[in-house]
Amino acid sequence: MLAILENRTYRHLFLAQVIALIGTGLATVALGLLAFELAGENAGAVLGTALAIKMIAYVTVAPIASAFAERVPRRAMLVALDLGRAAIAVLLPFVTEIWQVYVLIFVLQSASAALTPTFQATIPDILPDEKEYTRALSLSRLAYDLESVASPMLAAALLAFISFHNLFAGTVIGFLISAALVASIVLPSPKPTQPRGIYDRTTRGIRIYLATPRLRGLLAINLAVASAGALVIVNTVVYVQAVFGLDQQSTALALAAFGGGSMVSALALPKLLEKMPDRTAMLAGACLLAAATLTAAALPGYGWLLPLWFALGLGYSAAQTPSGRLLRRSANPEDRPALFAAQFALSHACWLIAYPLAGWAGASLGLPVTAIILAVSAAVAAALALAAWPVDDPAVIEHVHADLPPNHPHLTEAGHGRRHAHAYVIDDMHAVWPTR
């Protein structure tokens, strides 16, 4: 898997991702402490609102940003957004009011919503080989999982010597190093084939997404991932410390079990996907998520929670890591940023539903009922994915262009007739998925 790091361009991008993630992790810890300093016992409400603001920024900004991204060289855009995130992080230690936290979080996460899909859409352009790209997706998943473990540990070590306000300096440094690494390489910037209006550019990714059967299946899988993931992220501390009466270290161990399962799955996926279709692996992951979430409704004790959380981690990574492969094969290079932005926005819309549901139901109805509700949500989502994503899903599809004149370039440039076959994606020439 690490062999792909021999590619200098990808190596710099991967290091930029890892360092920026560590910086973001430090900011997450510092933000929690800042919320407690400003709001005391209401810190949970402040953080909950900040999390909702983050998701709203992700859902609304990503498609709009993608509309302008095609007009700007990718390297310049990524560097500018990293520098912008660093500038916002500089201001966080000086916050004195809760509303200021909300404003800065919205601006910071808006920059992330513009940066992340553009970053993700760049990887398949620099790693055109599918096996290498699959390894890159697994490395990216590992980076996210390791960050969730490494950043809190680093923050704990630093807090022994410095104030939590100074943790934001680590965030600033992380974004600056990320910007420097991106600036040190040359990135491809595919251009659109024709000028487009702002409405077309803003909605293009979502229109391609919803018109592609395999991506409608992916949207349902996103909901299954969010439903099960919300139980872990929102309610692990409640299970461990309120239900089982254990300490913070036990909570950390439970989250580590979830992250460990995700990492094991990410490591296994490159070899697994050489023998198994993406559809099979992702649906198996979604079904595992639904079954494990339902099992959480009858947890007898902490000793059972750890392997169950490990199983949830396995399903979590299996269900979502291959999604980049689906997005890459579902769009032309010039449309990939818009399509990755659509995935970014729609997947976070699922989290925007799941997070409040897990929190509200857990507080009002109890954890067993909450687990059942989220398990039903995950199961229904898996069933919808099974129905929406055809078993027979070839890249090359025979289709007919009955509305084109015989001398149209699309028919003549490759010797095509009205009925022909090629790798099929939704674009200007192919607005509707063919019926077969």
- Domain residue limits at 409: 394-436
The DSSP symbol for 243 reads I
**Of the residues 189, 206, 225, the one at which a domain ends:** 189
Provide the whole-model pTM: 0.85
Are residues 350 and 421 both part of a single domain? no
Rounded to whole angstroms, the Cα distance separating 256 from 367 reads 21
Alpha helices by DSSP H, 241-335: 248-275, 278-295, 302-320, 323-329
Residue 163: exposed, middle, or buried by beta-carbon count in 10 A (0-12, 13-18, 19+)?
exposed
Question: Helices 130-159 and 302-320, interaxial angle, to 10°?
Answer: 140
Does residue 408 share a domain with residue 384?
Answer: no
Assess whether 403 and 326 both reside in one domain: no
Same domain? 42 vs 108: yes
How distant, in Å, are the alpha carbons of 51, 142, 233 from that of 152?
A: 18, 16, 15
Write out the chain's pLDDT in tens, 436 residues: 577 888 899 999 989 988 888 888 788 777 767 777 777 766 656 766 777 788 888 888 888 887 776 677 888 889 999 999 999 999 988 888 888 888 888 888 888 888 888 888 888 888 888 888 888 888 887 777 666 666 666 776 777 777 778 888 888 999 999 999 999 998 886 665 566 666 677 788 899 999 999 999 999 999 999 999 999 888 888 888 888 988 877 887 888 888 889 889 988 999 999 999 999 999 999 999 999 999 999 999 999 999 999 999 999 999 999 999 999 899 888 888 889 889 989 998 999 899 888 888 888 899 999 999 999 999 999 999 999 999 998 888 888 887 878 788 777 766 667 788 888 899 888 888 987 6
The predicted pLDDT at position 368 comes to 95
Number of domains making up the chain: 3
Q: Using only the alpha carbons of the chain, give its radius of gyration.
A: 22
At 307, which CATH number?
A: 1.20.1250.20
Residues 245 and 153 in one domain: no
* Whole-number Å distance between alpha carbons of 122 and 194: 20
* Same-domain check for residues 183 and 207: no
Residue type at position 431: A
Q: Do 167 and 271 belong together in one domain?
A: no
How many angstroms separate the CA atoms of 198 and 82, rounded? 25
Residues 263 and 347 reside in one and the same domain: yes
Domain end residue (candidates: 189, 209, 224) = 189
pLDDT at 55: 84
Residues 181 and 205 in one domain: no
Whether 386 and 398 map to the same domain: the answer is no
CA distances, 181 to each of 12, 14, 120 (Å): 6, 9, 16
Find all residues with CB under 8 Å of 280, minimum gap 6, and list them.
none
Domain-ending residue, one of 189, 215, 233: 189
378 and 402 assigned to the same domain: no
User: Which residue in 300, 68, 26 sits closest to 166, CA to CA?
Assistant: 26
Are 170 and 220 within one domain?
Answer: no
